[in-house]
Amino acid sequence: MTRLSVFCLVGAAAVLLAGCSSDPQTQRLINGAVPFVGQPEVTANANFLAAYEADAPGVAVVRDDTPDALAVALRQTRSAQSGVETMIAADGTQFMLRKGILVGTRGLGNDLMAAEVTPVERLVSARGSGVATRLMTFIDGNDHAVTRAFKCDIYPGGLEDVTVGTTPIQTRLMTEYCRGPFGEFYNYYWVVPGSGEIVQSNQWAGPLTGKISLRKVPSVRS
Amino acid sequence: MAFRDHSSRLLFSALLCTALSTAAPVRADGVSSYGTPGLIDMPSATTTKDGTLNWTSSFLNGHTRNTLHFQISPRLSGVFRYSILKDFFSGAYSNLYDRSFDLHYQISDETRRLPAFAFGLRDFGGTGIFGAEYIVASKHFLGDKLTVTGGLGWGRLASFGGFSNPLGALSESFKRRPVFTGNILETGRVSFDRFFRGDAAFFGGLEYQYNDRLRLVMEYSSDAYRTEAQRMGFEHRSPLNFGLNYKMRDNLTLNAFVVGGAQAGLGFTYTIDPRAPRAPGGVERDTPVLTPRAEIAALGWAVEDIDASRNRLSAELNQNGLVLESYAQSGTTAQIVMQNTRYRADAEALGRAARVMANTLPADLDSFEITLAKQGMPVSRTTIRRTDLHELEHAWDGAWQSFVRADIADATERLRPDAHAYPRLQWDLLPYFRTSLFDPDSPVRMDLGLAASAGYHIAPGFSIHAVIRQKVVGTLDQSTRISNSVLPHVRSDAPLYDKLQGPQVARLTADYLFRPGNDLYGRVSAGYFEPMFAGISSEVLWYPQGSRLALGAELNYVSQRDPYSRMGLTDYNIATGHASAYYDFGNSYRGQLDVGRYLAGDWGGTLTLTREFDNGFKIGAFMTLTDVSFAEFGEGSFDKGLMFSIPLDWITGEPNRTGFGQTIRPIQRDGGARLSVANRLYQEVRSSNASDLEHQWGKFWR
C-alpha cells in the first residue's frame, strides 16, 4: 500500500469519526454508523422499566421466524375506551391486545396499526363456532394506512394443558382460519373454559412480521 | 335479470382479482442489455412495475452500458444511459463516452387474443450512436411462462436485414434517414428529422421462464453492430443472440449473453421499488400511547398552573424531537406553536404532539390547537379534540377518521415565543460528498470531506445560516477542462471553485421568513447563497391550505463569487428571478413551471415533472429552454437532467428529516442556469400545508 492510500484511508476514517450534531437523533445515527466506537450501553426502555416497577401483567412473545428470540412484554397502559392493552418489551417494541387478540404492533415495520376483531373475540371467548369478519389496518411502504378485510371460520378443538409459570391450566384450543387479500392464515387461541381468557395464542401479525406466539406469564418480579 | 347479471360479473371480477393476487406466477418478462423491457438487445412490448427503478449494467467486449430505467407511469418508461465504448476513436482520447435517453410506451395491453403493442425511441437526443425506433408486439403463452415478441425497427435496429421503409408509402421522405454529422454542437437535441426514417427491419425472439429464478432468451437481432465492427473489432457472424437471466434475489438479476455469435457478455439488473422500503412505514419503537383520561384527572394537575403544564409538555415533546416554542391556554383549549425537527411527515409530528399533550396537560383541557412553524414562521394550525384522540387511538380506521375530525386552518399569526425559546442554536458537523459526473477524462470525480453547518435562530422567522466545507480527499480539483462557453461562465467554471484550497464557505446567509397575509408567505435573504453566487434574494408564495396549486415569484440581485478567493466577488452582477407555478396532479405526480431570467441573463422557462411518493422518495426530470440558441449553448444544446432524492428514513426506518439526492445533468453549461437558494418557500412550507398533511396522515398514529 502506498503512503498516499494510507493517508487517504486515515482521512476517510477521520471524516466518519468526526460527525457530531446538536440534534440527539442525528447524533445517534452517527454513533450507529461509526465502527469500533463504544456504543452507549443498552438500557431497557423507560416505559418497560416503569411497567416492571409496577409489577404489570405480562406476556412472553416470540416471532415464528426467529424462534430463539423470546421477549417479555409488560402492560404499559390499558385504554378505557377500547379496552386495548398496550404491552411494551424492553427494546420498546409494542403489542396491542384486546382480550388477548392482537390488534396492533409498533416497532416491527409494516406494522399493524389497528384491527376490528369484535366478532372474532365473541366467538373465541365463547368457544363457539361460526364465521366472523376481521379488519386489519397496516401501514404500507408508502406510509398509507391500508385496511384489509378477512373472512374467518372459527371452530373449537380439543382440550389442552398450557403451563403458565409452573401451573398447568386446562384450555380449549380455538382455531380461526382466515382468507383475505394476502392469502390465508390460521390463528390459534388457548382459551380457559370458565373465564374465556386467552392464556396462549399464535396469531398472524401481518405480511412482513408473519406469525407471533404469545403466552401469559406470571408476575416477572416474583 | 339485470341485477343478477351485474352480480355475477362482480363475482367473476372478484374471483379474477383473488386469482391474480394469490397465484401471480412469474412472468417471462425481462430487461434487455439496454435496460428497458426486452430480450437481449431487442425490445419487447412489456413494462416493468409502475413506479419502479431499474439499474442495468452490461459489459460486452469493451462496450459498457449503464442504464437507469424508470417506469414513469404504468405505460410510459424513460431511460438515461451512460455508455463507454473502448477504443472507439483513434488517438489520445480513444474512448467514446455517450449519454443517451430512451422512451418506451406501451400502446395497448395484451388481451386474450391480441398481443401487447409498444413503441419506443432509443437515444432520441445525444450523438445518436444507439439511435433507433421500434414498434413491437409481445404475447404470453403457457401460463405466462413463454413470451413471444416480434417487431419492426428503424435506425440502428435496421442495420441487419433492412429493407425499404414501409412508411415510404406515406411519404418519400421516410425512405432516407439523415446521418449524424459528428458535430458535437448538434448533440442533445431531439432528432425529430430521423424518427422512423430510412430502412426498416424485422426482429423478434422468445423468452422462457424455466423456473422462478432462471429465464432463457433467444432473439433474432436486427442490429449488425456495424460501427463497433468497423471501429472496435466486433464480429457479427449470426443474427441470433442467446441469453440467460438468473434472479439471485427479488431485486437482483444476473445476466449472461452471446451477441452476434461471437461476443460473450455479462450484466446485472438491480431493481428498486420506491414503495417498498426495508421497514414499510418505519420501525419507530416506543410510540406515545394515551394514558386514560381518568388517570390524568387523578393526578390533579391544575389548569391555572400554566408554567407547570408548559414544563411537563416541553420536556415530553423534546423527548419526541419536537421543540415547543409557545404555550398558552384559552378557556379549555391548549394552544402551542412547535417546530418539528425529527419527522419527515409533519402528520406524524402532529400525532405525537397531540398524544403528548393528552398525557401531560390537565384533564380539563379538552381541545388542542397545534401550530406548525417553519423557522418560527407559522404555517398551519390543526385543532384536535381530546375525546377524539381517545376514541380513535385503536380504531381500525383511526387514521382516516382522525384526519376527518381534525380541523386544519391557515396560521398567519402565531403566539409570542416563550422565554428561552429564542435565540436557539442548532449545529452539525457531518461528512459530505460531492460528485462531478461524465467528464470524459474521468467520468466520476468525487470529494469527501467535512461540513460544519449552523443555524442561529434569533427570533421567529429570523435566522442566520452558515455551511463551511473542508475537503479531506477527492478529485474534483483535478479537472483540466477549461470552459469554452461563449456565455458568461455562470456554471461552466465550477471546476475552478473546487481548486481553492482550505475551507470553503458554501453558505452564509441571513434569512427572514414571514406571513404577509392569508395564504401568503414571504422570504428575504442576503449573503452567500451557494459556492458560486452571493447577493440578495426575495420571494413571495401564494399557497392556500389544501390547494393543489401554488404560485410564487422570486427576485434576486447577485454577484458571481471569485473562484480564487474565499469571500471575494467578481464584477459579474445580474438581476435574476422567476415566476413559478407548482401543481400536484395527484397520484404522486407533480409539476413545476418556472419562467424568468437566468444567471447568464437569458430569458426562458424550466419545466420539471416529478413522481413523488408519500414516503418522500422522489424522482424527476427537468428541461430548460431559453433565448440562448442551441449553438451558443454548446454541447448538449439546452439544459436538462434528472434528479432523485431518497429520504434517510426510507433506508433506516427511523425518523429523520434529512436524505440524500442527486441531480444528474448530461452536461452542465451556462444557459438556463438558476441561482441555488437553500430555503425556497414552497419546499420550506409544503410539509406543513394541509395538502401534504393529508397525503401523509397514515403516519399520525406512529
pLDDT score for A183? 85
Are B285 and A106 a contacting pair at CB < 8 A? yes
Does residue A72 share a domain with residue A179?
A: yes
pLDDT score for B443? 83
CB < 8 Å to A77, chain B: 289-292
- Say which of A21, A139, A181 has its CB closest to residue B428: A21
Name all domains of chain B by residue range, CATH numbers in brackets: 33-272 (2.40.160.40), 293-420+694-699 (3.30.300)
C-alpha grid cell, residue B382: 390543526
CB < 8 Å to B400, chain A: 145
Exposure string for B511-542, b = 16+ CB within 10 A, e = fewer: bbbbbeeeebbbbebbbbbbbbbbbebbbbbb
Number of domains in chain A: 2
Contact at 8 Å (CB) between B519 and B544? yes
**pLDDT, tens only, B523-535:** 999 999 999 999 9
**pLDDT, tens only, B585-612:** 999 999 999 999 999 999 999 999 999 9
CB < 8 Å to B431, chain A: 15-16, 18-19
pLDDT score for B366? 96
Q: How many Cα neighbours within 13 Å face the side chain of B181? A: 6
pLDDT score for A14? 57
Are A109 and B280 a contacting pair at CB < 8 A? yes
Cα–Cα distance measured from residue B329 to residue B411, given in angstroms and rounded to the nearest whole number = 17
Q: Bridge partners of A86?
A: A77, A96
Instruction: Look up residue A4 and give its amino acid.
Output: L
Distance of CA B424 to the CA centre of its chain: 32
CATH number reported for the structural domain that contains residue A73 in this entry: 2.40.360.10
CB < 8 Å to B284, chain A: 106-107
CB < 8 Å to A147, chain B: 396-397
C-alpha grid cell, residue A176: 380461526
Q: Report helix, strand or coil for B512.
A: strand
Are A139 and B281 a contacting pair at CB < 8 A? yes
Cα–Cα distance measured from residue A108 to residue B632, given in angstroms and rounded to the nearest whole number = 56
Contact at 8 Å (CB) between B248 and B254? yes
Does residue A69 share a domain with residue A16?
A: no
Contact at 8 Å (CB) between B105 and B118? yes
Does residue A96 share a domain with residue A203?
A: yes
Does A105 reside within a domain?
Answer: yes
pLDDT tens digits, chain A, 222 residues: what are they?
A: 455 555 555 555 555 556 788 888 777 777 776 655 555 566 889 999 999 999 999 999 999 999 888 999 999 999 999 999 999 999 999 999 999 999 999 999 999 999 999 999 999 999 999 999 999 999 999 999 999 999 999 999 999 999 998 899 999 999 999 999 878 999 999 999 989 999 999 999 999 999 999 999 988 776
Arithmetic mean of pLDDT, B495-520 = 95
Quick one: DSSP state of residue A151?
A: E
Q: Is the pLDDT of residue B23 over 50?
A: no
Does residue A171 share a domain with residue A107?
A: yes
- Counted residue by residue, chain B has a size of 702
Are B699 and A143 a contacting pair at CB < 8 A? yes
CB < 8 Å to B291, chain A: 77
CB < 8 Å to A21, chain B: 427-430
Q: What is the mean pLDDT of chain B?
A: 92
Cα–Cα distance measured from residue B309 to residue A70, given in angstroms and rounded to the nearest whole number = 39
Arithmetic mean of pLDDT, B393-409 = 97
Cα–Cα distance measured from residue B564 to residue B477, given in angstroms and rounded to the nearest whole number = 13
Does A134 reside within a domain?
Answer: yes
Arithmetic mean of pLDDT, B124-149 = 90
Does residue A52 share a domain with residue A25?
A: no
Higher pLDDT, A34 or B553: B553
CB proximity under 8 Å: B 618-657 to A: 648, 652-656
Does A129 reside within a domain?
Answer: yes
Q: Is the pLDDT of residue B13 over 60?
A: no
Would an 8 Å CB–CB cutoff place B698 in contact with chain A? yes
CB < 8 Å to B18, chain A: 181
Would an 8 Å CB–CB cutoff place A86 in contact with chain B? yes
Arithmetic mean of pLDDT, B656-662 = 90
Contact at 8 Å (CB) between B272 and B644? no
Does residue A53 share a domain with residue A12?
A: no
- Say which of A22, A76, A109 has its CB closest to residue B279: A109
Q: Is the pLDDT of residue B192 over 70?
A: yes
Would an 8 Å CB–CB cutoff place A91 in contact with chain B? yes
Domain range holding A87?
46-217
Does residue A27 share a domain with residue A71?
A: no
Cα–Cα distance measured from residue B618 to residue B646, given in angstroms and rounded to the nearest whole number = 7
pLDDT score for B178? 81
pLDDT band at B471 (very low <50, low <70, confident <90, very high): very high
Q: How far is B289 from chain A (nearest CA, A)?
A: 8
Does residue A160 share a domain with residue A103?
A: yes
Are B286 and A47 a contacting pair at CB < 8 A? yes
Does residue A199 share a domain with residue A100?
A: yes
pLDDT score for B148? 97
Closest CA to B483 of B667, B300, B248, B277: B667
Closest CA to B484 of B669, B641, B640: B669
Q: Bridge partners of A211?
A: A204
Instruction: Look up residue B697 and give its amino acid.
Output: W
pLDDT score for B640? 93
Arithmetic mean of pLDDT, B228-250 = 93
Cα–Cα distance measured from residue B673 to residue B35, given in angstroms and rounded to the nearest whole number = 30
Does A39 reside within a domain?
Answer: no
Cα–Cα distance measured from residue B418 to residue B422, given in angstroms and rounded to the nearest whole number = 8
pLDDT score for A44? 87
Neighbour-count burial of B285, counting CB atoms closer than 10 A to its CB (0-12 exposed, 13-18 middle, 19+ buried): middle
pLDDT band at B87 (very low <50, low <70, confident <90, very high): confident
CB proximity under 8 Å: A 148-177 to B: none
Exposure string for B387-409, b = 16+ CB within 10 A, e = fewer: ebbbbbbbbbbbbbebbeebebe
Does residue A53 share a domain with residue A23?
A: no
Does A38 reside within a domain?
Answer: no
Pure H helices in B407-531: 494-498
Does A199 reside within a domain?
Answer: yes
Q: What percent of chain B has pLDDT over 90?
A: 81
Strands (E), B52-145: 53-60, 63-71, 76-85, 96-108, 116-122, 132-141
Q: Bridge partners of B420?
A: none
**Phi, psi of B169, rounded to the nearest 5 degrees:** -65, -30
Cα–Cα distance measured from residue B570 to residue B563, given in angstroms and rounded to the nearest whole number = 9
Q: Is the pLDDT of residue B4 over 70?
A: no
Among A29, A98, A142, the residue to mutate for chain B (most B Cβ within 10 A): A142
Does residue A74 share a domain with residue A14?
A: no
Does A211 reside within a domain?
Answer: yes
Candidate from A156-160, A171-175, B165-169, B415-419 with smallest mean pLDDT: B165-169
**Phi, psi of B665, rounded to the nearest 5 degrees:** -110, 135
Cα–Cα distance measured from residue A59 to residue B228, given in angstroms and rounded to the nearest whole number = 68
Q: What is the mean pLDDT of chain A?
A: 89
Does residue A158 share a domain with residue A86?
A: yes
- Say which of A30, A103, A107 has its CB closest to residue B394: A103
Would an 8 Å CB–CB cutoff place B547 in contact with chain A? no
**pLDDT, tens only, B300-321:** 999 999 999 999 999 999 999 9
Among B20, B285, B388, the residue to mutate for chain A (most A Cβ within 10 A): B285
Helix (H) or strand (E) holding A94: strand A94-98
Q: Is the pLDDT of residue B347 over 80?
A: yes
pLDDT score for B16? 36
Within 8 A by CB and 6+ apart from B649, the residues are: B282, B344, B616, B655, B656, B659
Does A41 reside within a domain?
Answer: no
Helix (H) or strand (E) holding B2: helix B2-23
